[in-house]
Amino acid sequence: MRKALIGSVCLVVAAAAAYLGVSHYIGGMVAANVALYERRLLEIDGVSVTRFVYDKRLFDGHLVYDIAWRPPLEHPLREAFDEIAKTDGLKELRIAGRVPVRHGPWVGKFAAARAEFAAALPDEARRQLPKYPGQAPWLTIDAIVEWSGEVNAAFRLVDYDGRVGEPDDPQQPVAAIEGLRGRAWIARDATRATLETSLSRLQGGAAPGSAEFRDVKLTGALDIAARHRLTGALEIGAIGVKGEIPMPGGIAAGPFSLTLDATREWPFVWTGDFVSRLRGLAFDLPDLRAKVAAFDLRAVTIRKGDKVDSTIAITMGPTTIADAGFPAIAFDLSLRNLDGATLNDWTATLDSVVAKLDDPNPTAIESLSRLGAKLVAAGPQFAIDRLSLSVRSPDDVKLTLQAQPTTGVELPKDRFAPLFEWLDTRVNFTANLGSIEAFVIALARIDSALEAAVVFGPSEERIARERFARAKEILAGIPIIAIQGDSLSVDAALARGQISLNGRLTDPLQALAAGAEAIDGLKAALLTATGRDIPDVHGVPSATRAISRATFQSGTLQQLRVQAGGNDLMDGRLGADCAGYINARRATLVIDYTAGGDEVVFSATSPDADTALIVHTPEGAWICNDDGPERGVDPIVRIERPAPGRYHVWVATVEPERAEAIVQITPTEPARRR
């Protein structure tokens, strides 16, 4: 009996000693891991660690942390951080606290240690979240340290759905976050980590706008054991945006996916595969509805010895805009044979230049230029492998281009002409004329929808076909273009200063002149108002304003914000200054004038375009002006002894564009004239 008692006591003592030994070993292992994690934290730009230690005790311990982060100058959040710092005096983002840790072996799944962390929401933040659920912690983490030293953690964020700010203010933004859950794994040496997280709904905004994301999943893995490798995937089930800013209406998209597999080859150069896919992008705006069936992007960068090759492939469509179908677009671009070490140095220098844009370093800028010349001297190959439109069938319109420096010829520095000898280029363009005509008709249909004045019908389609027929005639007369049946092609090559077009040698300057002529001819053919030599004064105007003598005498400034420009080119046939691009079917502005008097002045100004004025008087006269006296490029039209009646005003743009403009109507008495 005595021996049994002594044996039991010895067994208990041995078990206690073993437990103490195991607990001591676990505490040491946790402390070593914490010290390693501290070193990893210090490797992150902008992170400072005041304290990150493990306070070990006999059977448990505490992780004590005090960490701060300030975005580096080149970080995308730095500008927003600085704005907040100006108003709130914020110098850094700081977290500090203590997390209790229990030593094993009986802390769940026979693990070595376990820590349960629950972050309470500060009282100040709780006041700004009136719908916050009671005293629930905003973040909970359950972390287990395995016997191997690996860490497995599960975390969740509290759900919230309500206003952000004072509860009685209806203008305060609202926010919703539901179902944010995740798991993380960290290797013992902290060289590898994985992350899995999901989110049911994320919504935010203020009346009348908001943005919403649903069914979000994010996974990622990082391995820095030998060289950095980062893999990840992001999936979003649906995306929705609605409101008044930047424009009234809504945008819907989804599903969306993104995958990444990248490896760091040099400190500033990564290789790998990046794939992004978006389905069902739809715009529902007051003046326009559009839908893109798909948008795919893939970027691949690979290392070949000391060289780097990079390719980008983009596909978009088919697309529907204003009930008009648009073809799918494909774009494949490649840049090959880049010197990897030089590219790394160039990228590092570019980062330093961007980080100090407010105070540029001349030495860094000079170095950037020198490294760029070195990259070019290594003989990279640039190519547009495919740029195509699939209107009726694949590649109805297709362009390919290959270009690279000529071997043994240095990059010219001070003259343009030697570029012809330095660059070796080949361009091939093919198009189906019937498909181009269908594309032009689709553009005309969209133009009608944007103008919102005339429903696209047989007359508008006839005008579009006439424009294309005129363009086809112009193209047939250009020597660099070959037309056979319903097929158009251009085959051009440049090698050591010699240009060949469709197999025939051509003088370079003549080729450039022919190309410029082709562009001008096409622009005139596609934009000129066929059958509309005189603008239509019977169409529905964009805006109408009545002006009487009382209106002028009230002192109220008579001005109106309008949209200038259009697709119809006025070439001066109504007068020398009656030029520019307008919408011939509808006047920009109609003035019903009953004021009488000696003079009325129309003027226009635009911050974005060179404008001209075309005015049709009640007597049927056309009065135009491009650049008014002492007004720069702003036009002015003065009408002496204006007759009462309806004045049609077009605000034209000198270039083929549309722009915001302001029209002003003022009286001028004889005594005030100069």
Domain count, the chain: 2
Residues near 228 by beta carbon (within 8 Å), at least 6 away in sequence: 222, 263, 264
Query: Do both 663 and 591 map to the same domain?
Result: yes
Is residue 261, in this structure, part of any structural domain at all?
A: no
Query: Do both 601 and 653 map to the same domain?
Result: yes
Which of 300-304, 525-529, 582-586 shows the lowest mean pLDDT across its residues?
A: 525-529
Query: Do both 437 and 498 map to the same domain?
Result: yes
Domain end (from 527, 561, 581): 527
Does the pLDDT at position 526 exceed 60? no
Domain end (from 495, 527, 559): 527
Mean pLDDT across 288-305: 91
Is residue 611, in this structure, part of any structural domain at all?
A: yes
Query: Do both 523 and 556 map to the same domain?
Result: no
Token look-up 């280029």 returns: 425
Q: Which helix (H) or strand (E) is 197 found in, with range? A: strand 192-205
Query: Do both 486 and 548 map to the same domain?
Result: no
Is residue 306, in this structure, part of any structural domain at all?
A: no
pLDDT tens string 562-571: 888 887 777 6
Is residue 49, in this structure, part of any structural domain at all?
A: no
What's the pLDDT band for 11 if we cut at 50, 70, 90? Answer: low
Structure confidence at residue 168 (pLDDT): 61
Query: Do both 667 and 550 map to the same domain?
Result: yes
- Which of 39-43, 108-112, 181-185, 207-211 ranks highest by mean pLDDT? 181-185
Q: Are 606 and 652 in contact (CB under 8 A)?
A: no
Radius of gyration of the chain (CA): 35
Structure confidence at residue 674 (pLDDT): 38
Q: Would you tell me how many other CB atoms lie within 10 Å of the CB of residue 628?
A: 19
Query: Do both 507 and 563 map to the same domain?
Result: no
Exposure string of 566-590, with b = 16+ CB inside 10 Å and e = fewer, is bbbbbeeebeebbbbbbbbbbbbbb
- Domain containing 660: what range? 544-672
Does the pLDDT at position 672 exceed 50? no
Structure confidence at residue 546 (pLDDT): 84
Q: Which residue has the higher pLDDT, 617 or 671?
A: 617
Please give the torsion angle defined by the CA atoms of residues 459, 465, 470 and 472, in that order, rounded to the nearest 10 degrees.
180
Query: Do both 551 and 663 map to the same domain?
Result: yes
Integer CA distances (angstroms), 244 to 271, 286, 414, in order: 41, 11, 51
Is residue 143, in this structure, part of any structural domain at all?
A: no
The pTM for the full model equals 0.69
DSSP string for 568-610: EEEESTT-TT-EEEE-TTS-SEEEEE---SSEEEEEEE-SSS-
Average predicted confidence (pLDDT) for the chain: 81
CATH number at residue 600: 2.60.120.380
User: Which amino acid, 48?
Assistant: S
Is residue 138, in this structure, part of any structural domain at all?
A: no
Structure confidence at residue 12 (pLDDT): 59
Q: Would you tell me how many other CB atoms lie within 10 Å of the CB of residue 456?
A: 19
Residues near 101 by beta carbon (within 8 Å), at least 6 away in sequence: 30, 54, 60, 61, 62, 63, 113, 114, 115
Query: Do both 588 and 637 map to the same domain?
Result: yes
Structure confidence at residue 248 (pLDDT): 65
Q: Which helix (H) or strand (E) is 316 found in, with range? A: strand 307-316
Q: Are 595 and 620 in contact (CB under 8 A)?
A: no
Mean pLDDT across 127-143: 86
Does the pLDDT at position 339 exceed 60? yes
CA distance 444 to 458: 12
pLDDT tens string 307-330: 999 999 999 988 887 777 778 899
Which of 46-50, 207-211, 601-605 shows the lowest mean pLDDT across its residues?
A: 207-211
Q: Which helix (H) or strand (E) is 239 found in, with range? A: strand 229-243
DSSP string for 398-451: EEEEEEEEPTT-PPPSS-STTHHHHEEEEEEEEEEHHHHHHHHHHHHHHHHHHH
Does the pLDDT at position 133 exceed 60? yes
Integer CA distances (angstroms), 503 to 403, 430, 480, in order: 18, 15, 10
Q: Which residue has the higher pLDDT, 119 or 343?
A: 343
What's the pLDDT band for 669 if we cut at 50, 70, 90? Answer: very low
Is residue 333, in this structure, part of any structural domain at all?
A: no
What's the pLDDT band for 136 if we cut at 50, 70, 90? Answer: confident
CA distance 334 to 564: 39
Mean pLDDT across 541-558: 75
DSSP string for 332-347: EEEEEEEEHHHHHHHH
Strands 544-547 and 589-593: parallel
Query: Do both 455 and 573 map to the same domain?
Result: no
Is residue 27, in this structure, part of any structural domain at all?
A: no
Domain end (from 497, 527, 557): 527
pLDDT tens string 55-101: 888 778 888 888 888 888 767 677 767 766 676 666 777 878 888 88
Q: Are 488 and 433 in contact (CB under 8 A)?
A: yes
Query: Do both 507 and 482 map to the same domain?
Result: yes
Integer CA distances (angstroms), 62 to 100, 101, 115, 143, in order: 5, 6, 9, 13
pLDDT tens string 464-482: 787 788 778 777 777 778 8
Does the pLDDT at position 412 exceed 60? no
Which of 171-180, 219-228, 336-345, 351-360 shows the lowest mean pLDDT across its residues?
A: 351-360
Q: Would you tell me how many other CB atoms lie within 10 Å of the CB of residue 355?
A: 16
DSSP string for 348-364: HHHHHHHHTTTS--HHH
Structure confidence at residue 409 (pLDDT): 57
Strand partners, 493: 426, 500
Integer CA distances (angstroms), 222 to 11, 364, 633, in order: 46, 32, 58
Query: Do both 509 and 607 map to the same domain?
Result: no
Q: Would you tell me how many other CB atoms lie within 10 Å of the CB of residue 467?
A: 23
Structure confidence at residue 321 (pLDDT): 79
Q: Would you tell me how many other CB atoms lie within 10 Å of the CB of residue 457?
A: 9
**What is the chain's length?**
674
Structure confidence at residue 213 (pLDDT): 93
Q: Are 584 and 532 in contact (CB under 8 A)?
A: yes
Q: How far is CA 370 from the centre of its chain?
A: 30
pLDDT tens string 146-161: 888 888 999 999 999 8
Q: Which helix (H) or strand (E) is 552 found in, with range? A: helix 549-553
Structure confidence at residue 420 (pLDDT): 60
